[in-house]
Structure formats: structure tokens, C-alpha cells
């Protein structure tokens, strides 16, 4: 009994990735916010620098580079007076889109089109490893299984892989029926061997419009 327990210990260790490996996997499966954060910082610094420059020019009695700070403040307070509705609407749309861009980048998780294969390993030195696969590679493998099960050409199968769902679209050959259950079973069998994390649901769509065979 003790021998059996000891033999199970390595497998348990392999199932638990190290904390630093979790961070590595997170970086590989999520997009970085560094570029967006740098862009936001540059915009804020540019606006602040321009405001400081105009204030300094105004303080020493020199003409403004673009617009006097006081005049700019008065125009902002007086909005929308003095601005054509078309220009005001276009400016507002641009500002709103820029704001939504930064808001979505800050709120959304920013996941990349990748999945993690379950089954991290741990060697004797305590270094764990994980495998990250692009969704395009997964879709290609599943499309091959679906194509063989449906007995159709590669052009008649399209697989869309997302984080929580896999959609398999099959266009059968005219006059040759396709068993939806067989395609679903083939895709699920191929998917079970990948051990994706998280495990997506599979949905098979058989088109009602067939393709004329060669």
C-alpha cells in the first residue's frame, strides 16, 4: 500500500504547475496592456505639457502658440455655441471612440486566441512546463477529424474555435448524407485527446445546401 501511495506522488506533483508558471501561461494567453498604457501616458503627458507651455508663454506676455488658455476655457464652457453641428458631432464621435478604446482595453480580459493543454509536468528539479496552442492549430486538427467522419473535402468543413465553444460547419456533397452524430463523436474524440483548459462545448452544423461533387 505504501508503495502505491509513493507511486502516486509524482503524478500529483505534475498536476500542479508552479506559481511562476501560472504567470507565464497568463502572459501567453492574454494580450499585454503595455502598449495601450504607454499610449495613454504619452497623450496625457503631451496635453499636460502643451497646457504648461501655453501657460508659461501667457505668463511672460508672449503670444500663444495655438490658443490662449483663457480663451480655450471660455470656448469649452460655451460649447456647443459657435461650432457647426456636423463638426461637433464628428468631434464627439472621435472622442467617444478613443474613450471606448481605452475603456475596453482596461476592462476586458484581452484573451488571445490560444488554449492551454491540461497536464503540466514537473521534473526532479522542480521546474514545471505547460503547452499553449493557437486556436488555428486546434481548428485545423478538428477540421481534419470532421472531414474524415463526414467524407468530404477540406473546403467543405470550417471550424471556429473560441474559448468556450467550438462550431463545426459542414457542407455535404449533394446526394451524400452526412451523419451529424458521427461528426460530433469524431470531433469530441479528437478534442478529448487535447485536454484543453477550459474544455469548449462542441456544436456541429450540417448545411442544407450541398456541394456538387467533382
The pairing of strands 201-206 and 165-170 is parallel
Indicate the residue among 107, 141, 170 that finishes a domain.
Answer: 107
Q: What pLDDT, on the 0 to 100 scale, is given for residue 114?
A: 78
Q: Are residues 142 and 97 in the same domain?
A: no
* 114 within domain boundaries: no
Q: What is the pLDDT of residues 84-105, one digit of tens each?
A: 778 878 888 898 998 888 888 7
Lowest mean pLDDT among 115-119, 177-181, 197-201: 115-119
Beta-bridged to residue 111, according to DSSP, are 30
Domain that holds residue 97: 34-107
Q: What is the pLDDT of residues 145-166, one digit of tens each?
A: 999 999 899 899 999 998 889 9
* 153 within domain boundaries: yes
Name the pTM for this structure: 0.56
How far apart are the C-alpha atoms of 44 and 137, rounded to whole Å? 40
Q: Are residues 90 and 149 in the same domain?
A: no
Q: What pLDDT, on the 0 to 100 scale, is given for residue 9?
A: 41
* 49 within domain boundaries: yes
What's the structural domain count of the chain? 2
Q: What is the pLDDT of residues 113-123, one digit of tens each?
A: 777 776 544 44
Q: Are residues 186 and 136 in the same domain?
A: yes
Report the pLDDT averaged over residues 133-141.
88
Q: Are residues 139 and 201 in the same domain?
A: yes
Map the chain to HEC letters.
CHHHHHHHHHHHHHHCCCHHHHHHHHHHHECCCHHHHHHHHHHHHHHHHHHHHHHHHHHCCCCCCCCCHHHHHHHHHCCCCCCCHHHHHHHHHHHHHHHHHHHHHHHCCCECCEEEEEEEEECCCCCEEEEEEEHHHHHHHHHHHHHHHHCCCHHHEEEEECCCEEEEEECCECCCCCCHHHHHHHHHHHHHHHCEECCCEEEEEECCCCECCC
Q: How far is CA 162 from the centre of its chain?
A: 9
Report the pLDDT averaged over residues 21-28.
66
Q: What is the pLDDT of residues 25-79, one digit of tens each?
A: 666 666 777 788 888 889 889 888 888 888 888 788 777 777 777 777 777 777 7
Residues 6+ apart with CB under 8 A from 172: 150, 152, 156, 178, 206, 207, 210, 211
* 18 within domain boundaries: no
Q: What pLDDT, on the 0 to 100 scale, is given for residue 129?
A: 67
Output 172 or 22, whichever has higher pLDDT.
Answer: 172
Amino acid at each position: 500500500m505504501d508503495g502505491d501511495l509513493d507511486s502516486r506522488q509524482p503524478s500529483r506533483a505534475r498536476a500542479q504547475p508552479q506559481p511562476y508558471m501560472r504567470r507565464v501561461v497568463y502572459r501567453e494567453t492574454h494580450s499585454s496592456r503595455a502598449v495601450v498604457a504607454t499610449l495613454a501616458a504619452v497623450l496625457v503627458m503631451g496635453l499636460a505639457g502643451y497646457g504648461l507651455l501655453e501657460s508659461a508663454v501667457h505668463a511672460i506676455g508672449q503670444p500663444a502658440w495655438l490658443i490662449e488658455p483663457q480663451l480655450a476655457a471660455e470656448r469649452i464652457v460655451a460649447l456647443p455655441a459657435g461650432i457647426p453641428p456636423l463638426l461637433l458631432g464628428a468631434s464627439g464621435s472621435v472622442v467617444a471612440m478613443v474613450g471606448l478604446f481605452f475603456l475596453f482595453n482596461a476592462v476586458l480580459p484581452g484573451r488571445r486566441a490560444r488554449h492551454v493543454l491540461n497536464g503540466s509536468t514537473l521534473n526532479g528539479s522542480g521546474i514545471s512546463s505547460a503547452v499553449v496552442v493557437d486556436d488555428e492549430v486546434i481548428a485545423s486538427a478538428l477540421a481534419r477529424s470532421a472531414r474524415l467522419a463526414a467524407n468530404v473535402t477540406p473546403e467543405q468543413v470550417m471550424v471556429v474555435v473560441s474559448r468556450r465553444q467550438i462550431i463545426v460547419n459542414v457542407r455535404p456533397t449533394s446526394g451524400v448524407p452526412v451523419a451529424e452524430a458521427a461528426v460530433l463523436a469524431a470531433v469530441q474524440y479528437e478534442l478529448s485527446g487535447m485536454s484543453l483548459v477550459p474544455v469548449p462545448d462542441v456544436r456541429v452544423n450540417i448545411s442544407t445546401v450541398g456541394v456538387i461533387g467533382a
